[in-house]
Amino acid sequence: MTSAKKIAVITGANKGLGFEMARQLAQVGVRVLLAARDPQKGEAAAAQLRGERLNVESLKLDVTDEQDRATAAAFLEQKFGRLDILINNAGISVEVLGAGKVSTTTDDAMHRTFETNFFAPVALTQALLPLLKKSDAGRIVNMSSILGSQTLQADPKSPIYDFKALSYDASKAALNSFTIHLAYELKDTKIKVNSAHPGWVKTDLGTDAAPMEIPEGAKTGVALALLGEDGPTGGFFHLGNTLPW
């Protein structure tokens, strides 16, 4: 093991929320691996943070690729011998958020969205779980969305009631279910598993219409990654507040 510092992997970390969470974690002394599908973009992002004197490196990882997941796990095992923090941040939307109709949602949209937003984080977490179990305080953060809240989507009085896109919303609801089930399985270990809603943030997905800046949006995921021993597990949070499933 090369370092006693916490080791973190953040998927989709070459831009947006993933990049900012990497910055904020590195600023408090975590050694962060910025996982990105495109190795050149990943390395460019890591170089930018190294220019800020932060301890980061890039990791080539297409979360939907089985071989990439296995290669990443082997690399982490060999170099660090453990993993302390996994943030499943990579995600897509192939529909216009808030403008989707069930009657026009295509099979392709459903399959592509679930592949990245649900099946990939489940498979990656399974691949890296043996390393997380070697941590003194493993933390798994699934970057979800308030749009995955079944309770709020069903409530006519909810602020998101009229903001629907089946493939994206359902994929985040499934990711939340994964959080609940994995937290239950690991309830007698030191690993904590939680879902995070970053807020409506000015990212490629959130667009410039979003009210929140990226540094603010990164705070929820970072806080859950750094939870203390008495912190929660199996929950859904935004800036310290619990959200309904």
**DSSP 8-state secondary structure symbol assigned to residue 232:** -
**168 catalytically annotated:** yes
End-to-end CA distance of the chain: 39
pLDDT digits (tens, 9 = 90+) for 104-128: 999 999 999 999 999 999 999 999 9
- The single residue of 15, 157, 168, 190 carrying the catalytic annotation is 168
User: Rounded to the nearest 5 degrees, what angle is found at the Cα of 184, between the Cα atoms of 183 and 185?
Assistant: 90
The pLDDT of residue 100 is 74
**6 catalytically annotated:** no
CA distance to 83, 94, 99, 167, 217, per residue, from 103 (Å): 43, 16, 12, 12, 32
pLDDT digits (tens, 9 = 90+) for 151-187: 999 999 999 999 999 999 999 999 999 999 999 999 9
Amino acid at 62: D
| CA-wise closest residue to 149 among 128, 163, 135 | 163
Distance, in Å, from the CA atom of 225 to the CA atom of 25, rounded to the nearest integer, reads 8
| CA-wise closest residue to 142 among 8, 11, 242, 6 | 11
Q: Domains (ranges, CATH) in the chain?
A: 7-242 (3.40.50.720)
Question: Higher confidence at residue 212 or residue 145?
Answer: 145
pTM of the full structure: 0.95
The pLDDT of residue 1 is 34
Residue pointed to by tokens 């916490």: 6
CB distance 211 to 192 below 8 Å? no
* Residue 168: strand, helix, or coil: helix
- The single residue of 6, 172, 192, 219 carrying the catalytic annotation is 172
